[in-house]
Structure formats: structure tokens, C-alpha cells
A and B are shown apart, each in its own frame.
Chain A
Amino acid sequence: MLHAVNLTKKYQEHLALDDLNLSIEPGDIYCLLGANGAGKSTTINLFLNFIAPTSGKAVIDKFEVTENPQATRKLIAYIPENLVLYNELSGLENLEYFVGLAGMKYHQEQLVGFLKEAGLQVEAYKKRVKAYSKGMRQKVGVAMAIAKRAKVLLLDEPTSGLDPKASNEFSELLLRLSKQNVATLMATHDLFRAKETGTNIGIMKSGKLVEQLSTEEINHSDLEKLYLNHMSN
């Protein structure tokens, strides 16, 4: 579903992403680990076509993103670390607008259904987003993904700053979407959740993907050792 083929991004002389090759299939939850500046966001931005690759290709469902950005964005739902919505609007109104931009039209009840599915408490639907916690806003983001019927989820540190309960709820939502054959690429610092939720793990360092493994192959403490090992040299 998601493929990076020799994907490279250079800023002047600085290699932000160096010859990345990876494949993510429907139902996969691929967790990208790495220190700040490793190139995780760069990877996600390339799939979103927010930035153009210096060389190589980012492919989503057979479309190369630079050639078909509109078609690929129809398939994508994106949740950044800090999901900023329109504060003057309610969660429901925000959902309606963003889903509308994706070209989807729903009745009010359907939209409410998506928010419910994303786990947002009922009292919040019609409250202005200004009063929302970060976790609540992330849930609206998930509701957008559900409503958009996204086949690909691109998540850039979505659980940073969430409390453990909210973080746990978020993981459960990901698992549910994964069962519906959504392919997920998530940048994260949370090794524990990556192991718990992810199907695959990639470790990045200075723009290079230095390790790829399946979460079934490894236990928590080995993953931590491996990660710290990579970070220290």
C-alpha cells in the first residue's frame, strides 16, 4: 500500500532522508523510531507530498505521490503531533469541514457516529474545540480518518504529550483500524506502545533506516537495548 523506493531528501547539502526503502501493507502498523532529527517527519511529509523528494519515489496504492498528489491524498488520513482545529467551531463542525474538504458528505447523525467510534465523549460534540484537551482533538483526528475511509494513516508522533489512558485509547483505535485493513505509518518515541501496537518497527538514524524488524520477533527489553545501541554509536 505504502512504498518508499530509494527515497531521498536533501536540504542543501544536508541529507535529511537517505535512500529509504520500505513497504507497508494493508493492516500493518509500521512504527518509525528514532531520535529527533532522524528523518521521521521528512518521510511522512514526502508521502503527503508536502515536500518534493530529491530522488526516489513515494508510492501509495500504485500512485506516485508527486504525480498524483490529489488521488493519493484521498486515501490518506494524517494526524500530526499537535492536531490544530478551528477553535471557534465545535468538534462536530470541525469534522464536517475537514471531511467535506476530502469530498465526503455525511448526515449529522453519521458524523456523530464517527465521533462516537473515535471515542469522543458525547457532551463534547457540540462544544467549541477551544475547550478540548489534546487527547480529545486527536480523537477528532481519528474520526476524520474513519469518516474519510482512509486506506492509509500517516501519524507523526500522535501520542506525544498524551496521558497514558489517552495514549492507550489511541492505540486501541489504531488496532481497530488495522483490522479494517488500514495501512499505518507512525513516527513515535514511545518504544513500549510501538511494541504493543505495531506490527513492524523501523529504527532511523540521521536519515538512514538502520533496522527493520517485526514486533513478533522481539521482546520489550531487547527492543530497548537494540534502540539504545543504535543511538549510542
Chain B
Amino acid sequence: MVNLNIRHELKLLSRNFWFVSLSLVLVLLCLYAGHNGLKHYERRTADQQEALAAQQAKEQLIKEVALTLSKGEEHPNAYRLSPMNLAISTGRLGTMPATQMSKLAIGQSDLYTHQLKIALNEDLATLSFNELNNPVQLLFGNFDLAFVLTYLVPLIIIAFTYNLRTRELESGRLKLLASNPIKINLWLLQRFIIRYFFLLLILTAILLATVLIARTGFSMQLLVFFLLTYAYLAFWFAISYLANLLGRSSARNAVSMLSLWILLVLVVPTVINQAANTVYPMPSRVKLLNEIRQTKKELSKEQNKVLDEYLRNHPELISNKGENAYGYWQGYFASQELTEKRLAPLIERFDAQLAKQQRWVNAWGILSPAVMFHDGATRLAGTSSAHYEQFKDYVRSFSLNWRAHFMPFVFKNEMLGLQELDNLPEFQFRSRSRTAGVFMNISVLLVFSALTVIWGLALEGKRQLI
């Protein structure tokens, strides 16, 4: 029966005007989405290149100054080698490079920064929170391939399967079919599986074309992205199969499938998103900023005490030039560290709430296949909220490093030489691939699909199918 049904479906689909034209529309949509992703990637990369080039030019200039000085000559810009200048106005540029896969799933990258200057005077507390705090990735946003797959492909699946049984029922053909020695739910399952593989083949071809247009190259992530897509398709086919077995009319099936689409793709993600904020509300940012300002003000009143305490904690920084060796900046950094120490519990509460929100979203995201798919896609693309979180963490720890590296120079008021310039910490962020986590998403989608199909098969004999 399989061969027979394959030939049958091929004939029916290829002679179906709507199927052929919608497939063509899908081709155009995907290619356009791929093109969009490529443009987005190029823009982001060009921005970063430009910023990095400017930064390098600055550093080159400083090197030249150092070179001149090392020869014992004078240089009008000698001040550039002061620790304050190097650590604050030159600083370091932290970048989060776009991955090849980000062309396919841009995610919410518009809302996040991918590059920022790391300087000694930045407050770690504010640095961490000027990013979007919400761990849920909105599913919509950029018109990329992930968008087309998350939103539009389920609609196409619904359009081509919602009445596969009910149409036969309504036309009266189902009786003619069922007068043969076949089991209707198995026969229907076969038609669904055939259509599934048919769409899978078409979509694979389209995806490959898109990948070529976007020039992502081939990688393990791409392969997993394909698998994830197949699992997502399977879910929608399975749901439609069940709706066909349960439903008595095509019109009602269409309505229930579209309602389900609205529920799973639009409503559930939004509700999970909102609920995360309600259940684990973020402490007020304004309050945090106020606290920081307040604490700094208090500390500035007792500069000497602050500096004393700081030096007690960092005896290695004590200068042999005595008390007079310390000026404004030494006091500034001492109070910066103390402020952070005092506000640590508050900052930790932010982090903890954020982590809780993230866990909540991860747990409840299972309720929406669209979330499962989109989350998986952005993980593979390095544009998931987890990646931005990781970038933020890296920036934070790098800032600490940067600070620790410069403090001895600041406190000893020493200029840096050629050799010290070469030993400055380098910012090297590479997103870790999260392919492993995506297999969880794939499994969830497949388990849901399998359970749905089993439910449908179990209806044999329990429900009037003819």
C-alpha cells in the first residue's frame, strides 16, 4: 500500500494548483529570508570591523609613542602611556562576533549590544543591566529563516492536511475507500507520513538553496538545524492527523487547527513571557541606580577611610612613596570596589531573579512547539538569550581582569612601557555552541508528535471513522 499511496499523493499534490503555487511562495519567502539574514550578518560584522579598526588605530598610535620613548627620545604624546589613559580612554573593545548560523536565525540581536568598550571607570553593576533583562526571546522580529519556519510553515502544513480525512468523509469517498480491506487510521497515517516526507524533501531543497544564498557553509550546527526543523514539521503533521481523526467536518478542522496555531505560536509564548515577569519580578532598576549613587555619595564623604580599607585589602598596592602618592583616581577606584562590595547582595538578587526567569521559561517553553523550535534555532545560531547572558558574563569577568591588571600601575603611578603594552589582557569572546541542548528540544518535539500519533492510532474501533 505504501508505494501505491506514494504515487497517489504525488499525483494529487502535483496536480493541486494551490500546493504548487504555495510551494513556490515558500521558495521565495525562504530565499528572501536567507538574503535578509545575510545582510543582517554583514551589517553587524561590518560595524564590528569598523569599531575594531578604529580601536587598533588607537593602539597602534600608542605603540609608536612607546617605541619612541623606548629609544630614549621625547614624545609630545607621552601621556598616552599613563595607566589612566590606557585603561580608561583607550580601554578595550569587547565584541561578540556573529556566527555563520546567525544568518538563519537572527533572533533578537537588534535588542542586544554585540560590542562595548571596556574601561576601568565603568560600573560593573550598571554594565550588567543596561541590557534587556527578559530571558524570553520574542519569536517575531526579524524576517529570517527561523521566522518563516516557526510561523509560516505550520500554516502551510495545516493548509495541506487539515481535511485529509474529513474531505473524504464529506464527499462520501471515505466509504468507497473503506469498502476495501484497509484500516482507515493506518491508511490516513500513511498519507500523512508521505506528505510529511514530501514536504521535508521540498523544504530540504529550499533550505539548501537558502544556505547557499546566505553562504553559511556546512557545519554540525546546520545539520542539527535541519533535524530540528524536521521535528517541528513532524509535530504539526501529527497534530493535524489527530484533528482529522477527531473532527467531523473540514470547516471545524480548519478552525481548530488555526486556533491551535494561534494558541501554540502566539498565545503560549507570550503568556510564558509575561508570567515569568509576574512570578519572578525584577527588582527596580531605578532603585539600584539610586542605591549606587547614594552609596558613592556616602563613601565620598569618607575618602580617607575608604582608601585605608581598600589598601588593607590590597596590601600589594601600597606605594612606597607614602600617603601623598594617592590622588583622585586611587580614591575613585577604592570607592568603586567598595560600592560594588556593598551592593553585591542587590546585584545578586538581579542575577538570581534573571536565572529564575530563565529556568521558568525553559521549563514552560515545552508547552509551545514554536518556542522549542525557535529556542533551538537561536541556540544553534549563537543568538539565544543564553548566548547574550554568556557574553555579559564574559564582559564582567574581563572587566575585573582589566581592572586587576591596571591597579598596580594606577597605585604606583607608573607609565607603561613597550613590553607592558604587549602583556595587556586580550578580549577573546567566542560563543560556545549549544548543539547538545538542542537535542533536548528535538526530543521534546518528537515525543509530542509520537504521543499524538499513538493517540490517533488508539482511536481505531473506539470512534466512528467512516
A interface with B by C-beta (< 8 Å): 48, 50-51, 69-71, 73-74, 76-78, 80, 82-86, 88-89, 93, 97-98, 100-103, 141, 154
Contacts and interface: CB of A to CB of B under 8 A. Distances in A.
Contact of A48 (B11, B172, B173, B179): B179
A58 B182 CA distance: 19
B464 to A, nearest CB: 8
7 contacts: A50-B175, A70-B182, A86-B173, A89-B15, A101-B4, A101-B181, A103-B180
Nearest to A51: B464
A88 B172 contact: no
Interface string B174-188: 011111111100010
B1 A73 contact: no
A83 B171 CA distance: 9
B8 interface: yes
Contacts of B12: 86, 88-89
Contacts of B15: 88-89
Contacts of A85: 173, 176
Q: Give the size category of B's interface with A.
A: 20 to 34
Contact of A78 (B4, B179, B181, B182): B179
A78 B16 contact: no
Given A88-B11, A93-B11, A101 B175 contact: no
Contacts of A98: 176-177, 180
Interface string B157-201: 000000000000001110111111111000100000000000000
Given A80-B175, A84-B176, A101 B11 contact: no
Interface of B: 1, 4, 8, 11-12, 15-16, 171-173, 175-183, 187, 464, 466
A80 B1 contact: no
B173 A101 contact: no
Contacts of B187: 101
Given A50-B466, A84-B171, A86-B12, A71 B181 contact: yes
Given A80-B172, A84-B171, A73 B179 contact: yes
Contacts of B11: 88-89, 93
B175 A88 contact: no
Contacts of B16: 88
A77 B179 contact: yes
A70 B461 CA distance: 13
Given A84-B173, A88-B15, A76 B8 contact: no
Contact of B176 (A78, A88, A93): A78
A82 B172 contact: yes
Contact of B4 (A50, A76, A97, A154): A97
B171 A101 contact: no
Contacts of B1: 100-101, 103
A73 B173 contact: no
A204 B178 CA distance: 26
Contacts of A78: 175-176, 179
A80 B178 CA distance: 12
Nearest to A72: B181
Given A78-B175, A85-B173, A101-B1, A70 B8 contact: no
B466 A101 contact: no
A83 B187 CA distance: 20
A48 B4 contact: no
A13 B179 CA distance: 28
A82 B173 CA distance: 9
B176 A83 contact: yes
Nearest to A79: B176
A74 B172 contact: no
A48 B176 CA distance: 10
A86 B168 CA distance: 10
B14 to A, nearest CB: 9
B143 to A, nearest CB: 34
Contacts of B180: 73, 98, 101-103
A84 B181 contact: no
B4 to A, nearest CB: 4
Contacts of B466: 50
Nearest to B12: A88
A102 B466 CA distance: 17
Contacts of B176: 78, 80, 83-85, 98, 141
A74 B181 CA distance: 6
A101 B187 CA distance: 9
A97 B175 CA distance: 15
A103 B4 CA distance: 10
Contacts of A100: 1, 4
A102 B176 CA distance: 11
A127 B4 CA distance: 20
Given A80-B172, A84-B173, A101-B1, A50 B178 contact: yes
Contacts of A48: 175, 178-179
B432 to A, nearest CB: 51
**Residue of A82, A88, A98, A101 contacting most chain B CB atoms (<10 Å):** A101
A70 to B, nearest CB: 4
A128 to B, nearest CB: 8
A97 B8 contact: yes
Given A84-B171, A84-B172, A102 B181 contact: yes
Nearest to A93: B11
Contacts of A101: 1, 4, 177, 180-182, 187
Contacts of A51: 464
**Residue of B16, B171, B180, B187 contacting most chain A CB atoms (<10 Å):** B180
A7 to B, nearest CB: 18
Given A50-B466, A93-B11, A76 B171 contact: no
B8 A73 contact: no
B466 to A, nearest CB: 5
B231 to A, nearest CB: 31
B183 to A, nearest CB: 8
Nearest to B179: A78
A89 B202 CA distance: 23
**Residue of A48, A51, A71, A86 contacting most chain B CB atoms (<10 Å):** A86
